Chain A
Amino acid sequence: GENVEQHPSTLSVQEGDSAVIKCTYSDSASNYFPWYKQELGKRPQLIIDIRSNVGEKKDQRIAVTLNKTAKHFSLHITETQPEDSAVYFCAASIAGANSKLTFGKGITLSVRP
């Protein structure tokens, strides 16, 4: 089955700096890659997703890039703010098939004011 790994497990950045969180996946058939953000004490929420037919997707300060050859995808957050502090989960699946979403273990991002 699919295996999704995230690294690093924790990341600390200064407010205003950029943060990059990288994930790797094992199943080359995976074609749907969402990112979920979980703030302390709250439920995970989708922040951005990408499908394998595009290499990059942006939404304001966040962007996701996908490298299908290397089987990795990354979340980029620019101009980080304290409210960006949270656990970020990446996931992968084969959309259109009877495939479950496989999550990574999460990365804790801390934005220092």
Chain B
Amino acid sequence: KAGVTQTPRYLIKTRGQQVTLSCSPISGHRSVSWYQQTPGQGLQFLFEYFSETQRNKGNFPGRFSGRQFSNSRSEMNVSTLELGDSALYLCASSLTLSGANVLTFGAGSRLTVL
């Protein structure tokens, strides 16, 4: 079966712009979690969506937001981009809530902010 698909894979933006990233989970998975990965900081949790509802949120500013659609696909948006937002953004899907299940990660969207 198809894995977790993230689009776009690479993108370059300038400070002040906004960006939208997309994640299509494995068919049947209802939870989508988003992580920011930067060198030395590991996988920092952004938020998790389950059945179109945000279930958990990490310690990121309000510029980071997300949503989930009825088909479980999820998007995250970052507004007013800053240089420090440059990172690999990974999404992961799981059957139910991420705290108790295997996460399947996508390949990530690498964002560069100039």
Contacts and interface: CB of A to CB of B under 8 A. Distances in A.
Contacts of B35: 103
B55 A98 contact: yes
B72 interface: no
Contacts of B41: 105
Interface in B22-59: 33, 35, 40-45, 48, 55-56, 58
A113 interface: no
Contacts of A46: 102-103
B105 A99 contact: no
Interface residues of A, number: 24
Contacts of A95: 99-100
Interface string A37-58: 0000011111001000000000
B106 to A, nearest CB: 7
The residue among B33, B40, B56, B99 with the most chain A CB atoms within 10 A of its own CB is B99
Contact of A43 (B58, B100, B108): B108
B97 A98 contact: yes
A47 B52 CA distance: 29
A104 B103 CA distance: 15
A25 interface: no
Contacts of B55: 98, 100
A97 B43 CA distance: 21
Interface string A99-111: 1111111100000
Contacts of A100: 33, 45, 48, 55-56, 58, 98-99
Given A98-B56, A101-B103, A43 B42 contact: no
Given A43-B90, A43-B105, A98-B55, A103 B100 contact: no
**Nearest 5 Cβ contacts at the A-B interface:** A95-B100, A105-B42, A93-B99, A99-B99, A43-B105
Interface of A: 32, 34, 36, 42-46, 49, 89, 93-106
Interface of B: 33, 35, 40-45, 48, 55-56, 58, 90, 97-100, 102-103, 105-108
